[in-house]
Each structure stands twice: as C-alpha cells, then as structure tokens.
Structure 1
Amino acid sequence: MLDALRRFPEQRRLRAPLVITFLTLLAVFAGIHLWRQARLAPSAAAPSRPPIEVSAQTVRPETLSQSLEATGALEAAQAVTLAPEVAGRVTAIHFEAGARVEAGTPLVELYDAPERAERADAAARVRFARLQYDRSRRLAPSDTVSRQLLDQREAELEQAEAALQRIDANLAQKTIRAPFAGLIGIRRVNLGQYVNAGEAMATLTALDRLYVNFTLPQQELAKLRVGGDATVRADAYPNATFPARINAIEPIVEPDTRNIRVQATLANPDQMLRPGLYVTVSVAQPVRANAILAPATAIQTSASGDSVFVVRNGRAELTRVTIGQRRGDSVVVETGLGADDIVITDGQIRLQPGVPVRVVGPDVASTPQ
C-alpha cells in the first residue's frame, strides 16, 4: 500500500504532458471550426464586394465577305533563256539589256560565211536543175526526150531544192531571234565571243500576263473551282491589289504536305509585277450572312481551348468559343456567342467567373447591372 502511494505522484507527472497536449489540440480544432462557421454564416454587417470595372463590346451579326488566304509566287506565262542551237563566234548583237523586242527580231548573229557560200553553190545547182527539167518537159510531148529522162530531171531538181533548204536551215541556226515579244534581260555574251550550243546569252520574258502559283490545304478543295476570282497583293505595292482568275487546279494532292497546288492568271499591263515575287493570294468565297465577329482582345487562349468573358446579369461569365478566320482586329466566332452578347475586351486578368462587373467606356449602349 505504501509503495502504491509512493508511485502515484510519479504517474501524475508522466500523464501531465499528455493531458496538456490533448487540451491544446482540442482548442486548435475548436478554433478552426468556429472560424469556418463564421465565414460561412451570413453577416449583415459585412460589406459587399465592389464590382470590377471592365471594357466590353456588344457583338452583332454582320454580312461578311469570305476568302481563302495563301502565299504564292509569280511566274511568267512566257519566259525563255536565249541560247544558240549550234556553236559559233558572235559577229553581231542587236539588243541592249532591258530593251523590249518584238517577236521575230534578230538578236544575235554567229559567223555564217561558210554556210552562205554553200547556199550560193546550192542555189546555182537549183537553177541549173530547173533549166534541165523545164527543157525536158517541153520536149517530152514530141518524144524527143524519153519519159525516163524527164523523171530523172525532176528528181535532180527536187534533190537540189532539198539541199538548198538544208543549208537555209543551217543558216537560220546562226541567227538567234526573239520567239515572242518581251523584255530582254541582262546580256551574258560579248561581240567576238565563241559560244557553245545551249550556252545562255540572255533571258526573254513576256510581262503582260503572269501566273501566280500557290497551295491550299486539302480540306479547302471543295471551295475551289476553275474560273474562280482571286486577288493578289504584293509587299512591293502595299496599297495595290491585282485581280486574278484561277485557270488550273492540280489533280493530285501533294503526298508530303497534303496541299493542293493552284494556278491563277493575272494581267500585268503596266508591268508593275515581276516573276519571282512572293505575293498574298485571296480566293473569293460566297458572302456569309449573320457572321459573329468579336474583338481579338476578347479571346483568351489556354490549353483547354478558346474562351471569352461575357457580361450577364451584371456578372462575368466564362464561355467557351470556337473561332475562325481573323479579320483585321476582329475574329470570326463560329460557336459560343450569339447576337447582342456583351464580351469583355479589357480587364479579364482580374476576373473570376461569377464576379460582379461594371462596364465602362462607350462600346456598349446598355449593360445589364
């Protein structure tokens, strides 16, 4: 009994820290519970949150002209590199770099004295063969000349004429002429220079009509047709547009890119455009009625998609949207918005769904509060 009494104070000392810890935890949990109850309980004295000031704009249906946009390059409808068919020494140059020439104009002449001498000999043979044939033909009715001799004279005449034509063809190869009217490029040959067959002398380009080649994604195939209208814009002339017309659509889709090659023609009477220029092509599409356009600043892009804040009953409501083409400072909204919706264009960074807002600025005629 005495031993038990002696151990009692020691047991009390051991239990005291446990009791204190338990009471402390109980007090903490009670405080947390009371704090949560105080937050959830409505308080008439607590001040209401003031609305956040934002800029907004009312979206309304518009009639929208549509087009397919692509980047293309210009190509001459007629362009050729001038080069001789045979080798020879340049004896005459009849053009200046940058000059305009007409079709058939002699441009470069090669040394042709041997061919001209051969032609004179061949022409003499033709004249003699023709005299022989004419004499035999006059004597044939009187049987002075046999039919066999007459046929022989006729064959000799034909052979002489063929030889003359062959020499004329060789002479024609010694003169390089313009195959069509156009603009001569930079000269690459000099007087007295020996040139080989196929060696470039200059370029000749017709600039009055050009091709524009461009590609579009395969999903746009149904929107293309031969004869469709297009508009061409070039960085060299930012304030000018050039009308074009689709003349060909490649029948095979490119296997690597799944794009469709398209070619259009455009008139270039003032020769403002040049082959090789990169241009922007707009292929006209049917006008779209009741299109919804929203300011580009209203669109918020995230990993989950595009969205906008819409003002409804004085509060900000986050709405998912599907966007289409960009038109200047606006974006076509395919789904998610309707006519007369009020979209917030500035101040979205401070917003959470459901917070009260107050629209400031002249873009909205009337805003529900």
Structure 2
Amino acid sequence: MTDTMRPLTDTRRRLAPVLIVIPILASTFAGIYLWRQARLAPASAGHARPPVEVSALTVEPEPLPQSLEATGSLQAVQELTLAPEVAGRVVAIRFEAGMSVEAGTPLVELNDAPERAQLAEAVSRAQFARLQLDRSRRLVATDAATQQLLDQRVTEQEQADATVQRIEAVIAQKTIRAPFAGLLGIRRVNLGQYVNPGDVLATLTALDRLYANFTVPQQDLSKLVLGGAVTVRTDAYPGQEFAARINAIEPMVQQDTRNVRVQATLGNPDRKLRPGLYVTVGIAQPPRPSAILVPATAIQTSASGDSVLVVRDGKAAPVPVTTGQRRGDRIVVETGLGSGDVVITSGQLRVQPGATVSVAASVAASNPSR
C-alpha cells in the first residue's frame, strides 16, 4: 500500500462508527414519535373533551333610574353654642353631657341673690308709688289736689314698674335655658366657676331635621329643581339611603370653582345621622328607558379592555364590551351586548374561547327582580 492511500484508509476507519450510530438514532426517534402518535390517536378520536359547566343569563334591556352624583356634608337646621348674656358665678348645673332636653329647660343658673334683693326693693317702691297714685286720683276727684300732682304720681308709678321689669329681666338672664329642643354636647363649665358674657357652656343641636349641603358643576345647573328628590348616602351606614328634597339653590355661581351650592332638607327622626358627616348625594334624573346590565362577575378585565363570554351555538365566544356605571352588584354595558345574548356569569376561568360549554343555571333576564 502506497503512502498516499494510507491516510484515506485511516479516515474511513474513524468515520465508520459515526455512520453506524446515525441510522440507529434516527430509527429510535422515529419509533418514539410513532409510538406517541399511536397513543394519542385513539384518545383524541374516541374521547372528546366534555363540555365545561357554567352559569349564564339572558340579557334584556330594562329601564334604568338615573341620578347626578355630588359630595357634601350634613348640617343641623338648628344648632347653637350656649353662652351667658351676663357675668356671674355658676350656682347650679341642671344637665348632663349628651342629654336630650325640651325647649325652655333650665340648664345653668348664675348667682342672682343681689338682683333678687334689688327686686324686692323695687317691688316695694312700686307698691308705694301705686298707693300714692291712688290717693292722688281721689284728691283730684274732690279738687283737693292739682292735675300736675296726679301726672307726677303716674310718672312715678311707671318708673317704679319699669325698674321692677328691668331687674326681673336681669334675673331671667341669670338662668340659661334651652331655646329649642335638642341634644346637648359636652359640658364646658363647672359648679362655682365665674363666667363672662359669651363664655361657652355647651352646645345644643336639634337632630330631627338636617341640611345636606353640596355643590354641583355649573354645567349641571339645568338639572336642579327646587323640591327635587335626592338621596343621601354615608359610609357611616353602608347600603342605606336617606330621602331628602332640594330646598335652596344658591343664586350665584362660585367664581373660583364655577360650582353651584345646593341645600337639601332631610328628616332624621331616629337621630342616626349627625351634623358634619361626609355624604354622597344622588340627585334624581329622568330614567334611562333602555339599558343592559350584567352581574359584575361576568366582566373580565385585561390589558386590552373589558370583555364578556357569551354562549353561541353551544360554545364560549369572547365579546369586547364598554362598561358604564355600577349599580349595586351589576354593571351597565354600554356597547357590545344586545337583547337575547346569553352571558356567562361564573365559571369563566375554566373556559377557553371556542370551548364547548354546558349552561347549568340560566336566568331569563338581567333584572334580578324579575
């Protein structure tokens, strides 16, 4: 064998194992593939995936009450800070904090002993002036006294009576009374304390009727009507609504905000609501004659927008929708659905688009009251 043929023979010897392994591996992979196809073919041919059980409802248009939403706060129709008109020392406190009182109930009494002594003196002077006047009238009747003397006695009598009335008024000021029925606040005065005119003693608030003060944008001014019905809601009582009516609309639009101030009156007979509460006010508007509502559970939210799954020919089909306001546990669907569409309300997570579904529970309309 020549030297030129020896390298060629060595190369063939090195490639021989590779040439043998390649067909073996190819046949092995081909066998595995055919084996898996043989296992899957019977399953796919003879055992189709069963329908997914879901709950659905058939949507129908229905009337939808409309309202204009605003925020505001509550204010008492009658509320004040109790304070003395005159100075004096507190000799009696006749109320407790949080007490409910009637109009005219005495609450705080100041020392009026000096004024009562002055009153006794003034009453005596008035009685003497009356005696003098009666005597003068008899004397004038017999021409024993002049008319000038009689006029003087009349003036003295009137001055004595005025002095009595003035002292009685001062004594009345020494007793602070409730000007109207209501609920007293925290007591801010102590027995024996010397108070000056205007010092705060307590607060008095009537809770049977309240104002709801709120503002609306100027573009909604045409939607306001005196006497119009409104509803008041507060997070202090979730899920409850309180009826009220508009009693005043500010004639001027606020220059800085371009809002209109509105006031509504509502009854509060059980005293549940309190002044200062933050409230949401719904102003009744003409109802929307036709709207489609679906349960909130039917809406699927993703990066591409909101959608629902509807049942068409026994299969689930995704439908993009535009949602509106929320009403309780339902949401208004502005676009995307029509009358008679069957919307899946639960079980969507187990359903793929195009999958066969079985409706386990179906409702005839989207209004649960039907």
TM-score by length of 2: 0.69
Q: Aligned to 1:149, what secondary structure does the other structure show? A: helix
Structure 1 residue 105: deviation in Å? Answer: 1.2
| 1:185-210 alpha-carbon deviations (Å, 9 max, x no partner) | 11111110111211111111111212
- Distance change >3 Å, CA 149–CA 361, structure 1 → 2: farther
What aligned pairs does 1:168-187 form with structure 2 within 5 A after superposition? 168-187=168-187
- Distance change >3 Å, CA 187–CA 122, structure 1 → 2: same
- Distance change >3 Å, CA 96–CA 317, structure 1 → 2: closer
| Matched letter for residue 87 of structure 1 | A
Contact 2:294-2:332 at 8 Å conserved across structures: yes
| 1:298-320 alpha-carbon deviations (Å, 9 max, x no partner) | 587999xx886898999989979
| 1:38-61 alpha-carbon deviations (Å, 9 max, x no partner) | xxxxxxxxxxxxxxx9x9986532
| Matched letter for residue 82 of structure 2 | L
- Alpha-carbon distance between aligned partners in 2 of 1:331 and 1:92, rounded to the nearest angstrom: 61
Structure 1 residue 69: deviation in Å? Answer: 2.3
Contact 1:310-1:341 at 8 Å conserved across structures: no
What stretches of structure 2 of length at least 5 have no aligned partner?
1-51, 364-370
| 1:236-265 alpha-carbon deviations (Å, 9 max, x no partner) | 322433222222122222222222222222
Percent sequence identity over aligned pairs: 64
Structure 1 residue 231: deviation in Å? Answer: 2.1
- Alpha-carbon distance between aligned partners in 1 of 2:131 and 2:115, rounded to the nearest angstrom: 24
What aligned pairs does 1:72-87 form with structure 2 within 5 A after superposition? 72-87=72-87
- State the match for 1:106 in structure 2: 106
1:188 corresponds to 2:204: no
| Matched letter for residue 258 of structure 1 | R
- Alpha-carbon distance between aligned partners in 2 of 1:74 and 1:96, rounded to the nearest angstrom: 25
| 1:209-240 alpha-carbon deviations (Å, 9 max, x no partner) | 12222222222222221212222233232243
| Matched letter for residue 289 of structure 2 | A
Contact 1:298-1:343 at 8 Å conserved across structures: no
- Alpha-carbon distance between aligned partners in 1 of 2:280 and 2:260, rounded to the nearest angstrom: 16
Q: Aligned to 1:97, what secondary structure does the other structure show? A: coil
- State the match for 1:31 in structure 2: none
- Alpha-carbon distance between aligned partners in 2 of 1:246 and 1:274, rounded to the nearest angstrom: 19
Contact 1:308-1:343 at 8 Å conserved across structures: no
Q: RMSD of the TM alignment (CA)? A: 3.6
Contact 1:298-1:344 at 8 Å conserved across structures: no
What aligned pairs does 1:117-128 form with structure 2 within 5 A after superposition? 117-128=117-128
| 1:132-190 alpha-carbon deviations (Å, 9 max, x no partner) | 11221223232222111111111111111112211112112111111111111111111
- Alpha-carbon distance between aligned partners in 2 of 1:220 and 1:97, rounded to the nearest angstrom: 43
Contact 2:102-2:180 at 8 Å conserved across structures: yes
- Distance change >3 Å, CA 217–CA 329, structure 1 → 2: farther
- Distance change >3 Å, CA 59–CA 137, structure 1 → 2: same
What aligned pairs does 1:267-346 form with structure 2 within 5 A after superposition? 267-293=267-293, 324-332=324-332, 339-340=339-340
- Alpha-carbon distance between aligned partners in 2 of 1:335 and 1:173, rounded to the nearest angstrom: 70
- Distance change >3 Å, CA 81–CA 68, structure 1 → 2: same
Contact 2:321-2:333 at 8 Å conserved across structures: no
| Matched letter for residue 207 of structure 2 | L
- Distance change >3 Å, CA 332–CA 359, structure 1 → 2: farther
- Distance change >3 Å, CA 170–CA 194, structure 1 → 2: same
- State the match for 1:94 in structure 2: 94
What stretches of structure 1 of length at least 5 have no aligned partner?
1-52
- State the match for 2:11 in structure 1: none
| Matched letter for residue 131 of structure 2 | L
| Matched letter for residue 274 of structure 2 | R
Q: Aligned to 1:190, what secondary structure does the other structure show? A: coil
Aligned length: 306
| Matched letter for residue 140 of structure 1 | V
- Distance change >3 Å, CA 343–CA 259, structure 1 → 2: farther
